[in-house]
Amino acid sequence: MLALRVIPCLDVKDGRVVKGVNFLELRDAGDPVEQARIYDREGADEITFLDITASHEGRDTMLDVVSRTAAQVFIPLTVGGGVRAVEAMRRLLLAGADKVSVNSAFVSDPALVTRGAEAFGSQAIVVAIDARSSGEGKWEVFTHGGRRGTGIDAIEWIREAERRGAGEILLTSMDRDGTRQGFDLGLLRAARAAVRLPIVASGGVGAVEHFVEGAGAGATGLLAASVFHYGQMRIAEAKAALEQAGLPVRPMAEAA
C-alpha cells in the first residue's frame, strides 16, 4: 500500500484563502503563498489550490499565486478553478503546478480530460467532483463552486472520469464541507468500489480520527482546510493518528 497523503486545501477568492460551511459564508483565512509555505515546512505531502469563484465568474485561475507559491514550496501542487482548455492547463503547469484539477469544465466538455491526459499524461490531470446527497446511497454532481446542480450521478461521473483518462479524483462532500463531522464515508466507499483511481477525500474533517476513517473508506489522499488554517490541528497530528492506526505515511523528516 502506498503512503497516504495529508493535503491542506487552500480555497482562494480575490487572492486570499477563504473557508466557509457547505460552500457558503466564506471568511478570510490568510495569504495563500504564506499558508502554503507553512504547510510545506510542517510536512504536508501536497498542497491543493482551488480558485473557488473562477468558473462562476468566467475567468482563469490565478497564475501569479501559483508561480509565487511554486517558487517557495517544494511539494506537489494541485491547482484548479476555471480551467476550461488545454492551453490553460499548460499555463498552470508552466507556472509550477504539478497537477491541474478540472470540475465544471469536465461537465460541459468531458473530452477536455482526455485531451489534457494526452498532452501532459494522466498523472497531471485531476477531476474534482463536488457531490451532494440526493437520496439514500445517491449523490448529485454540482458545478460552479457548488452553485449549479447537474442531475448527474456522482458515482457514474467518477467512472466517466476514469474512462476519459483522469489520473486522480478529488471528491468533495458538499454536505460535510466545513461541518467538521467527518468525511462522508458512504460516498467514499461507493467511489472506491467504482474505480481504481487514487481518490482524495474532501469535506468534513474536524478531528484526527476522521483521517483514519477516510483512509479506511478507501481514500489515498486526505484533504482538510479549516482545521489547519485556524490552528485546530497540525499536519504532524494527522500523520501521527494515521501511523498509530497502522497506516502508511511519509515520515515527517522526509516530508519536511
- Is 177 part of the annotated catalytic residue set? no
| Catalytic residue from among 11, 45, 51, 177 | 11
Spatial neighbors of 203 by CB under 8 A, at least 6 apart, are 172, 173, 174, 175, 176, 177, 178, 183, 184
d(CA 203, CA 144): 17
Q: Which among 216, 218, 226 is positioned nearest to 246, based on CA atoms? A: 216
Query: Which one of 40, 45, 51, 130 is the catalytic residue?
Result: 130
Taking the C-alpha atoms of residue 158 and residue 219, their distance in angstroms, rounded to an integer, is: 14
H helix or E strand, kind and range, residue 78: strand 77-80
Question: Helices (H), strands (E): how many in the chain?
Answer: 12, 12
**Burial of 186 per CB tally in 10 Å (0-12, 13-18, 19+):** middle
Please confirm, yes or no, whether 184 is among the known catalytic residues. no
**Catalytic annotation, residues:** 11, 130
